[in-house]
Amino acid sequence: MADQSSDLEHKTPDQLTQSEAQAELARLSDVLTRANRAYHGEDAPFLSDADYDRLRRRNSAIEERFPEFKREDSPSRQVGAAAADGFGKVTHAVRMLSLSNAFEDADVQGFADQINSYLNRTGPLEFTAEPKIDGLSLSLRYVDGQLVQAATRGDGEIGENVTANALTIDDIPQRLTGAPEVLEVRGEVYMSHDDFARLNQRQQDTGGKLFANPRNAAAGSLRQLDAAVTRSRPLRFFAYAWGETSAPLAETQAGAIERLGSLGFQTNPLTTVCRSIDDLLAHYRMIEQRRASLGYDIDGVVYKVNDLALQRRLGFRSTTPRWAIAHKFPAELAWTRLEGIDIQVGRTGALSPVARLMPVTVGGVVVSNATLHNEDYIAGRDSNGAPIRDGKDIRVGDWVQVYRAGDVIPKIADVDLSKRPDDATAFAFPTLCPECGSEAHREDGDSVRRCSGGLVCPAQAVERLKHFVSRGAFDIEGLGAKQIEMFFGDPTLPINEPADIFTLARRDQANLGKLQNRDGFGDKSVKKLFEAIENKRTIGLGRFLFALGIRHLGEVAGTNLARHFMSWTALLTTVDRAHEAGKRYLLAEEAVIAKRAADLSAGQRPKLQAVRDKIWSDPPVPADSRAAWDDLVAVNGVGAVLALSLVTTLAHPQERAVIERLVAELTILPPEAQATDSPVAGKTVVFTGTLEKMTRAEAKARAEALGAKVAGSVSAKTDLLIAGPGAGSKATKAQELGIKVIDEDDWLGLIEGL
């Protein structure tokens, strides 16, 4: 029996027979129930959070495959079985994205133009327009018509399991009839103005916490560990989108919303189909006029391409869809006094000025800080030296106008010079880092002043560590920004660089395990922390690269570099080889900037290409180094700026040593193969000539989504050339190299239905 069950554990849900599935569901129910009890009953938990999540996911996957064997005592019915910090975590089957913003009418036209140019079409497009509800988004998963899970957005990939709480909301149906087998309905949880006022009154009467605005009240009420508290809060829900569906809801956005309505969801009555930009703008103004009398908060109007086939073609950028945009209402404004300017030093050494304000309420939220961006901004200039705020600078003691746009950090819109105190002096931006005293420089063309101290600067070191442990990076449970602040510079058990995290347990042991006697740490929490750290000793290359906190290296670039180089060693070798070329690139950029300035002041059009070419070729950069550089900048999303940042960071002895000490502690895994069932996965493809059915951008995005690498030029590494009419030298070269050449229709046939 023991043997059989351990065998079962290694089978995927698809490999299980019916009786095996039943046995496995019984085992999982038993293990997970005991794990819950052990965890909540304050016993020593016997499963790590990762294992717990893995078993829960396995349980759900088997249930999805064999719904008839779902048990009455199934762990998936025990909603809200909480992981460490309160709620269980849920990995969204389809990522929950945000929206890009339009602020002016012209941005809306720009949005439509971009869509047409991406699709290589002209003429009017159909859009839906609907209010943008100011609440928090929620994803509701229905399987066979039964609500099985509700999850908050979280970071878009992983949210919190709030099923028990969602079940208390009247607007959320628990059962659907006539829905696709799997349906994830997405929408906004919000609170009406009346309900908000009554709730705050009740809170005041009972000495509870007052909420600043309906949005905060809705968020605070949904994220309650005790579902009974959520039940007592008047939450509502509008459905406006969907995630995974086993069958399409409709052919149009409007049709899908109507379908959601007929399934029993509340959908917003101000949703309309518009056939022109003028229509969209008219609907926007109508909604804006009715804003105050709607009875709930909205902060703009969302436009979505109506045709779902076009939505699919348009697809997504890294965090937003190309087919939708939020047209925001103008921000709310308030006047207050600027009491001081502090300088904060960030992860990349940027000196960021922060306005300390006399607290003031802006759009229902008390604001006491605002960003001042950089020294030019304070001085009243933009990055090109052109005046902003009519050239008015900002001084301590000034009356300033503050605004908030959406969730973003408050900003300063204007200064009232008539109220400026006589003794106010222009702000002198520091040229030394306030944290470590190193010189702070401005690079040509950069409006930001940066501390040159690198990891010598404690502010940079600590911010890098915080980034290192953050969600998209190593994401170590129990080791967040707060703990980093605590361990940084600690006299007995410091975490001063990433490698220190992975030697923490060893050092604590050598220290006779003193950590568990510290404030905030007990026997159990220390054990959990060390376990969480151990769990992350193995990490994917993309995440690892992002975690390093190298300037300009974001999540997308990390993933793309990982897919291209497949191993840390391969990447490092190329970066080292590219060093010479990188140095030369820097020289070339400096020469170009000087030449541009000289040409412009002589009243000539700048002639830059020759300058650049000369520096590259005189004396020639060694071919090997040039090839390595070209290899780097050919990676999708990696430009010369990031390549240079990689080259310089890894050539810096101290940075290099820090990274090498870290690498010695880790196992870095190659990225998982992408979309392996696609015939182009892992293949390098090149497009050339004119494409008639799609634009280059669309072709490239589509190919990449299917796991192909898209290169700009044909080489021995190319697997496939897609040649449209007018293909020239690339097609010839491909033929010489014996590379397969197909036309656009062949290509579409190849990827059809994927």
Query: With contact defined as beta carbons under 8 Å apart, do 458 and 436 qualify?
Result: yes
Query: With contact defined as beta carbons under 8 Å apart, do 94 and 140 qualify?
Result: no
Task: Measure the CA–CA gap between 684 and 52, rounded to whole angstroms.
Answer: 39
User: C-beta of 98: minimal distance to ligand IVH in Å?
Assistant: 4
Q: Which is nearer to ligand IVH, 78 or 98 (CB)?
A: 98
Q: Which is nearer to ligand IVH, 326 or 685 (CB)?
A: 326
For residue 211, give both structure tokens: 């909420």
Mask: binding to ligand IVH, 80-109, rule CB under 6 A, as x and -?
A: -----------------xxx----------
Q: Which is nearer to ligand IVH, 297 or 704 (CB)?
A: 297
User: C-beta of 132: minimal distance to ligand IVH in Å?
Assistant: 4
Q: Which is nearer to ligand IVH, 160 or 188 (CB)?
A: 188
User: C-beta of 230: minimal distance to ligand IVH in Å?
Assistant: 19
Q: Which member of 130, 184, 376, 463 binds ligand IVH (CB under 6 A)? A: 130
Interaction between residue 727 and ligand IVH (CB under 6 A): no
Task: Measure the CA–CA gap between 309 and 320, rounded to whole angstroms.
Answer: 17
Binding region for ligand IVH (CB under 6 A) out of 119-127, 130-138, 353-361, 526-534: 130-138
Q: Which member of 179, 235, 277, 302 binds ligand IVH (CB under 6 A)? A: 302
**Residue whose C-alpha is closest to residue 477's, from 422, 534, 428:** 534
User: C-beta of 186: minimal distance to ligand IVH in Å?
Assistant: 7
Q: Which is nearer to ligand IVH, 53 or 288 (CB)?
A: 288
Binding region for ligand IVH (CB under 6 A) out of 58-66, 125-133, 418-426, 742-750: 125-133
DSSP code per residue over 14-42: GG--HHHHHHHHHHHHHHHHHHHHHHHTT
Kindly report the three-state secondary structure assignment for every residue of 420-483.
Answer: CCCCCCCCCCCCECCCCCCEEEECCCCCCEEECCHHHCHHHHHHHHHHHHCCCCCCCCCCCHHH
Q: Which member of 310, 326, 412, 465 binds ligand IVH (CB under 6 A)? A: 326
User: C-beta of 128: minimal distance to ligand IVH in Å?
Assistant: 9
Residue 315: Cβ within 10 Å count: 14
Query: With contact defined as beta carbons under 8 Å apart, do 685 and 719 qualify?
Result: yes
Strand partners, 334: 402
Catalytic-residue membership of 614: no
User: C-beta of 137: minimal distance to ligand IVH in Å?
Assistant: 3
User: C-beta of 249: minimal distance to ligand IVH in Å?
Assistant: 14
Binding residues among 145-204 for ligand IVH as defined by CB under 6 A: 188
Q: Which is nearer to ligand IVH, 239 or 571 (CB)?
A: 239
Q: Which member of 32, 217, 324, 350 binds ligand IVH (CB under 6 A)? A: 324
How many residues line the site for ligand IVH (CB under 6 A)?
Answer: 14
Binding residues among 232-251 for ligand IVH as defined by CB under 6 A: 240-241
Binding region for ligand IVH (CB under 6 A) out of 108-116, 126-134, 556-564, 625-633: 126-134
Q: How do strand 709-711 and strand 684-688 relate by DSSP bridges?
A: parallel
DSSP 8-state code for residue 95 = P
Binding region for ligand IVH (CB under 6 A) out of 61-69, 176-184, 320-328, 429-437: 320-328
Residue among 70, 89, 132, 536 flagged as catalytic: 132
Q: Which is nearer to ligand IVH, 218 or 691 (CB)?
A: 218
Task: Measure the CA–CA gap between 390 and 412, rounded to whole angstroms.
Answer: 14
For residue 488, give both structure tokens: 């940084």
Task: Measure the CA–CA gap between 379 and 392, rounded to whole angstroms.
Answer: 7
DSSP code per residue over 686-746: EEES--SSS-HHHHHHHHHHTT-EEESS--TT--EEEE-TT--HHHHHHHHHT-EEE-HHH
Query: With contact defined as beta carbons under 8 Å apart, do 218 and 230 qualify?
Result: no
Q: Is 751 exposed, middle or buried (0-12, 13-18, 19+ CB in 10 A)?
A: middle
User: C-beta of 240: minimal distance to ligand IVH in Å?
Assistant: 4
Binding residues among 479-508 for ligand IVH as defined by CB under 6 A: none
User: C-beta of 540: minimal distance to ligand IVH in Å?
Assistant: 25
Using Cβ positions, the residue closest to ligand IVH within the complex turns out to be 137
User: C-beta of 95: minimal distance to ligand IVH in Å?
Assistant: 9
Query: With contact defined as beta carbons under 8 Å apart, do 219 and 196 qualify?
Result: no
Torsion, Cα 697 700 704 706, to 10 degrees, reads: 110
Q: Which is nearer to ligand IVH, 263 or 632 (CB)?
A: 263
Q: Which is nearer to ligand IVH, 175 or 312 (CB)?
A: 312
Residue 624 belongs to what H/E stretch? helix 623-633
Calculate the alpha carbon distances from 291 to 296, 349, 686, 734 in Å.
8, 43, 50, 60
Q: Position of tokens 């190593």?
A: 474
Q: Which is nearer to ligand IVH, 130 or 195 (CB)?
A: 130
Q: Which member of 70, 92, 132, 215 binds ligand IVH (CB under 6 A)? A: 132
Binding region for ligand IVH (CB under 6 A) out of 196-204, 319-327, 382-390, 693-701: 319-327
Kindly report the three-state secondary structure assignment for every residue of 145-167.
Answer: CEEEEEEECCCCCEEEECHHHHC
645 residue type, one letter: S
Q: Which member of 133, 260, 345, 400 binds ligand IVH (CB under 6 A)? A: 133
Residue ranges binding ligand IVH (CB under 6 A): 97-99, 130, 132-133, 137, 188, 240-241, 302, 321, 324, 326
* Active site members: 132
